[in-house]
Structure 1
């Protein structure tokens, strides 16, 4: 039953066809969590990686399930996707197919994120530069193919062109063995350092290399993220990494408030200069606050929410992923997205992991629109945030023109389906 409130208008019904045709942007999209399942099987055979099953049906039963018991089970599949992606051809193929799959459902702007150091294999000649070029080559190939079509362009009535940016993730934590060949080697080289020193050194190396590749190679590396286990690995430990990005005009997002309290969100904003927030779920869960200095937890959440709304800091909302990694939410109508709407937060609907969550951006929009009161004007605002709050890999003037055209095309599709 759709969520409702006494002040809300009657909910509008949107067909999946309309949702698929309207222009969209996905700003929280993990490459290693979004492979085609059939491609994963083929890639594994190519590089001699053993999977728990060698059929799509088998993988759905054993690894990529409709629901998960906990976050650990949700993350288990990444050991296989990362393993097969430590191959240049597989990397490029995965990036290309991800772009093609998004374009097939009307997603004309994506920001693909991943941790390059998880995919590096120094012993086999796969360093940072090789990883970044392979991923970019796949995305660029899809862009060139799509944008050469006669029905695509910035002229009135044409579909918006495809554009993309790459967000590089540092990892909050990784072990001495098993996370990736690069991390294993780094621990060996820095064996006399404590764990957090090694982790921070890897993050700083990654951000320096990202800025170099952007400036010297022209790759559309547009942002920094920090991913991995949130609880126990606070973002402030990586303040210097975010300062380096900030000083070099690289935009910032932070996985914050996914599995920890609202104080994690505040820290992302004030210590890491976050331009956007990944998930931000706990913003409206004051019971998750653990900082003993915060005595009035409800007031803290209220003031923080108002601060975020007033500054128009966008939250990358991943509904299905949150339901899968936080079973306590239960029904979708219990998701804190309803409070984000009520508090006029700038929200961008995203997928997180298309493979692991068995979803598409159209599916995520449908889930939101079927269960929360979102009239057409509010829907257009949400779509607009995807184009206005993105980390566009070009000038602000070009970003504005691209966003304007995408929103004009939204109106074209809305008229086609009788909403205008």
Structure 2
């Protein structure tokens, strides 16, 4: 295997297509924001929060998700939300990430009695990202064309499930308003309102909302419940990704593609685990997986791979080398290296790439392919022609950096 230095990985152009805003705050800023919002944290020091909440490893997915109650709490303040968005873009720029797609669930932050509407939430996020983009792209090295510019899109997450209290003021109020509806009807209604609002704000005010995601507990809340929501996105040229093949197996990925028109898959690693297939009608599980993988590869449906996050939330993966990235590469699937949550998983894009190249056989040409998928399979907020030109610019810069570090194709 070739050796890729940390300096080379940091300098090469990168993207992050699976990046949760509410899981990627700076710890110092979280403490500052909590004070501003008069919210109590388990500790007011970085060391204390790392010990009590944001750990190196977690016992289960529930403990991992526990972190988000604190980040979502402070982000229900529009000043905090804009700051977090701005700092997230800056943190990515400082490690050579040229393009990010920031995803979050706006309905976790909406608080109508407090005057926090969907539109205010989306504008706060966009304002922070846009400010960081403008500052970066005004640098001489970018204007001269020596380095590619920074760009971003926003992905809005619908929630697969939520309870009648505790998730957010918005969801609590919605359950109160619709108390005679079945819980799943309320959940689907919230998702439909989200996709409609996203299309409206994109079309009427130019906010670069590029896609819809489906997040939250996967097992027990199948993608087909949200078919109508994804049909609306599909019919209005809003692109589509789903968390699938994370806590549920190959059938989840199949549903995401066939029921929800998925353009990309978030995580996808359990797709290659036959023991997670539950449908009794699938008799030859290996054949089913092979055919599904071949279809995904042929259609260039990209998988957003989050190595550290998967290690932290899936007890079955005890060693990074067990990760199904190997199967994805062997099946020639379009794979994109992502962070998931920079704070909760204590990682960066550079660190995720280092994990990949240190533990899997990734020659330079394959590494460039992975980098390329990050730009070519992005939901870039412009025309296809503009996206191709941007991807070309970034990949020419990859070649330039590779030559600088002595790599020859």
| TM score, norm. by length of structure 1 | 0.97
Where structure 2 has 5 or more consecutive residues not aligned to the other structure, the ranges are: none
Q: CA deviation at 1:328?
A: 1.3
Map residues 323-362 of structure 1 onto 2, 5 A cutoff: 323-362=311-350
Q: Using the alignment, how far apart are the partners of 1:31 and 1:84 within structure 2?
A: 12
Map residues 298-317 of structure 1 onto 2, 5 A cutoff: 298-317=286-305
Helix, strand or coil for the counterpart of 2:103?
Answer: strand
Corresponding position: 1:198 with 2:186: yes
Aligned to 1:5: none
Q: CA deviation at 1:404?
A: 0.2
Q: Equivalent of 1:61, from 36, 51, 60?
A: 51
Q: Equivalent of 1:126, from 116, 122, 129?
A: 116
Q: Deviations over 1:281-328 (max 9, x none)?
A: 111101100111111111111110111111111000000000000021
Q: Equivalent of 1:402, from 390, 393, 400?
A: 390
Map residues 52-201 of structure 1 onto 2, 5 A cutoff: 52-153=42-143, 155=145, 158-201=146-189
Q: Deviations over 1:321-368 (max 9, x none)?
A: 000000211010011111111111110000000000000000000000
Helix, strand or coil for the counterpart of 1:329?
Answer: coil
Q: CA deviation at 1:154?
A: 7.3
Q: Deviations over 1:183-224 (max 9, x none)?
A: 000001101101000000000000000000000000000000
Aligned to 2:18: 28
Q: Deviations over 1:222-257 (max 9, x none)?
A: 000000000000000000000000000000001000
Q: Using the alignment, how far apart are the partners of 1:363 and 1:82 within structure 2?
A: 25
Q: Equivalent of 1:229, from 210, 217, 227?
A: 217
Q: Equivalent of 2:269, from 281, 291, 299?
A: 281
Is the CA contact 1:203–1:241 (under 8 Å) kept in the aligned structure 2?
A: yes
Q: Using the alignment, how far apart are the partners of 1:122 and 1:291 within structure 2?
A: 42
Helix, strand or coil for the counterpart of 2:297?
Answer: helix
Corresponding position: 1:414 with 2:402: yes
Q: Using the alignment, how far apart are the partners of 2:204 and 2:391 within structure 1?
A: 27
Corresponding position: 1:263 with 2:251: yes
Helix, strand or coil for the counterpart of 2:336?
Answer: strand
Q: Using the alignment, how far apart are the partners of 1:22 and 1:153 within structure 2?
A: 18
Q: Using the alignment, how far apart are the partners of 2:205 and 2:274 within structure 1?
A: 45
Is the CA contact 2:20–2:102 (under 8 Å) kept in the aligned structure 1?
A: yes
Aligned to 2:228: 240
Q: Using the alignment, how far apart are the partners of 1:286 and 1:153 within structure 2?
A: 51
Q: Using the alignment, how far apart are the partners of 2:283 and 2:360 within structure 1?
A: 32
Q: Using the alignment, how far apart are the partners of 1:39 and 1:100 within structure 2?
A: 13
Q: Using the alignment, how far apart are the partners of 1:173 and 1:154 within structure 2?
A: 48
Is the CA contact 1:338–1:372 (under 8 Å) kept in the aligned structure 2?
A: yes
Helix, strand or coil for the counterpart of 2:81?
Answer: helix
Worse-superposed segment, 298-307 or 221-230? 298-307
What is the RMSD of the two structures over their aligned residues, measured on CA atoms?
A: 0.7
Q: CA deviation at 1:153?
A: 3.9
Q: Deviations over 1:244-281 (max 9, x none)?
A: 00000000001000000100000000000000000001
Aligned to 2:201: 213
Worse-superposed segment, 207-216 or 288-297? 288-297
Q: Deviations over 1:39-90 (max 9, x none)?
A: 0011001101111111000010000100011000011100000000000000
Where structure 1 has 5 or more consecutive residues not aligned to the other structure, the ranges are: 1-10
Helix, strand or coil for the counterpart of 2:141?
Answer: coil
Aligned to 1:364: 352
Q: Using the alignment, how far apart are the partners of 2:282 and 2:42 within structure 1?
A: 46
| TM score, norm. by length of structure 2 | 0.99
Aligned to 1:322: 310
Q: Using the alignment, how far apart are the partners of 2:80 and 2:60 within structure 1?
A: 29
